[in-house]
Structure 1
Amino acid sequence: MDILVAGGHGQIALRLLKLLADQGHTARGLIRKPEQAADLRAAGAVPVLGDLENDESLAGYVKGADAVVFAAGAGPGSGPARKRTVDLGGAVKLADAARETGVRRYVMVSSIGAQDPASAGPAMRAYLEAKAEADAYVVASGLDYTIVRPGSLTDDPGTGRVRATRELGQRGPVPRDDVAAVLAACLTTPSTIGVTFELFTGDTPIAEALRF
């Protein structure tokens, strides 16, 4: 498969791109800064230079892909405005580009708490509101979507064992390694299409955990 990952230099995205490349896929990462390209090439991925936030359309980057993954984020140091333009606006642009170019499969990295942004503190509320709106847009887009809401991200080594649940509103940690492995598995697991789920570390092998 040819897979375009938006936010290609992120910590989860780089792990995902390496996994996809190792599996024999064409793994393309959309990045804004040319100096990030070397890290993608080191992971076996193809760097694609573009500006998720400011380019009017992403169709030129999406064209030719079999699937897209939204793994971008404005980051914890950004203000509410950038969360609207990146976490929401970027996800919307990617969905629009997928529809325009005939790409059906869309996998979204969302966040726990996105089902109820109002319950979050002021620091997190703008982020969760952006994520909630982005998720809703993708669900309504008609695309073959999967929305993954990871728990608290850690840099612990992945175990390949997780807990994936459609019962929203839970809490718990999950290694970035395992998030990337789940995203890769979703792309080839039809039972995840049309599913929104939370993801935590657990005891179930990934392939089994994704049998919704």
Structure 2
Amino acid sequence: MPALEAPKRMPLLLLSTLLLLGGRLCLPPCSALAAAATARRVLVAGAGGQTGQHVFRKLLAEPAGQYVPVGIVRSEASRDELLGSTSGGVVVPPESVVVCDIANANPSFLDDLMRDADAIVICTSAKPSPTGEIDEATGRPKFGFPTAILNLIDAAKRGGVGHVVLCGSMGGTNPNHPLNGLGKVRNADGTSSGGDILKWKRRSEVYLIDSGCPYTIVHPGGLLNEPGNERELCVGVDDVVPGTTNNSIPREDVANVMIAALEDERFRGRSFDLVSKTVGDGVVTRDYAALIESLAGKNCDYSLGEAA
């Protein structure tokens, strides 16, 4: 099956509401079309991943007329898996999923994808991309900026997308964090290559902030595949979160906060850490406005730690 073309606004808004009867297209009531015309078109990059899928399905489950979510997945296999699952009781319409290898996509394709998009939620990996060059000293491939995220941010800026919500990770203030050691190789000459995932994520975040795009950056703690909506959430900055010693959070709760960021202006221009208390400890978070207000205006300090 060939990769789908980037959808334009009108097909996405109408395709799911047009009924083909006896060879004729029958339009739904005008009220339904009016609701669709005011819905916010939100792209979800990494919709086939565990956290991105939570975001995508939750947007699909919102009342009609609120969102037109477009899930972006890297491969046909990911698309088929997404369409074949009814996780959370949500059926994914085929026309709402686009196949795109973002790291290698033609800029014009991404521009079409961004056209008329109100926001994009980025849940893709920040792994460094191969540059195509070989390090003469080590004989190993050189790696550079995580191209997928760079391409999305650049396209969002060109398209004037109103809001970019990026999922990062806690740990960015600590260059020696264990996650930075994953995939790192010690070379014979004493240098190292690979790894540094948190440093690359931090560089991606700085790139987004410097782009001028309206943004929200969420740094979740350790991600749990456990139900959301059962815990009190806590926020902080610079890897310090008051109110709990727990450093993990269910993916579903991360998705809830990212969607709240789409709906509340107070989340714009913010970069913060996010964890949860354990189940039964505290009061389950329902008021996301109060959650972001609890930061009292603080944001993460990117002069701390290291960016790749």
TM-score range, shorter chain: 0.7 to 0.9
Unaligned runs of 5+ in 2: 1-39, 131-142, 184-194, 278-282, 296-308
- For the pair shown, the structure with the greater C-alpha radius of gyration is 2
Of 173, 176, 179 in structure 2, the residue corresponding to residue 119 of structure 1 is 176
Are the counterparts in 2 of residues 7 and 30 from structure 1 also a CA contact under 8 Å? yes
Could you tell me which amino acid in structure 2 is paired with residue 52 of structure 1? I
Give the CA RMSD over aligned residues. Answer: 2.3
Contact map agreement 1:160 1:181 (CA 8 A) in 2: no
Partner SS state of residue 20, structure 1: helix
Q: 10-19 or 50-59: which moved more?
A: 50-59
1:56-104 Cα deviation digits (max 9, x unpaired): 4222222221000110116xxx7x546x66x832111111111111112
AA partner of residue 164 (structure 2) = Y
Determine the structure 2 residue equivalent to 1:162.
233
Change (3 A) 1:151 1:13: same
Question: Paired residues, what number?
Answer: 205
- For 1:206 and 1:123, the matched residues in 2 are separated by 36
Instruction: Give yes or no for contact 1:11–1:176 (8 Å, CA) kept in 2.
Output: yes
1:32 touches 1:49 (CA, 8 Å); kept in 2?
yes
Conservation of the 8 A alpha-carbon contact between 2:205 and 2:217: yes
State TM-score, norm by structure 1: 0.86
Q: Does 1:22 align with 2:22?
A: no
- Identity level (%): 27
Structure 1 match to 2:157: 99
Secondary structure, counterpart of 1:163 in structure 2: strand
Matched letter for residue 119 of structure 1: N
Which runs of structure 2 are paired with 1:66-145 in the superposition (5 Å)?
66-73=118-125, 81=129, 88-116=146-174, 118-121=175-178, 122-123=181-182, 125-145=195-215
5+ residue gaps in structure 1?
Answer: none
Distance in 2, matches of 1:61 and 1:114, equals 31
Q: 1:19 to 1:114 in 2, by over 3 A?
A: same
Residue number in structure 1 paired with 2:273: 198
- Tell whether 2:46 aligns with 1:7: yes
| Letter of the 1:3 counterpart | V
- After TM superposition, where is structure 1 displaced by more than 4 Å over at least 4 residues in a row? none
Contact map agreement 2:222 2:247 (CA 8 A) in 1 = yes
CA distance in 1, matches of 2:151, 2:287: 30
Q: Is the 8 A contact 2:237 2:273 kept in 1?
A: yes
Kept after mapping to 2: 8 A contact 1:4/1:30 = yes
Q: How far is 1:160 from its partner?
A: 5.8
Whether contact under 8 Å (1:16, 1:181) holds in the other structure is: yes
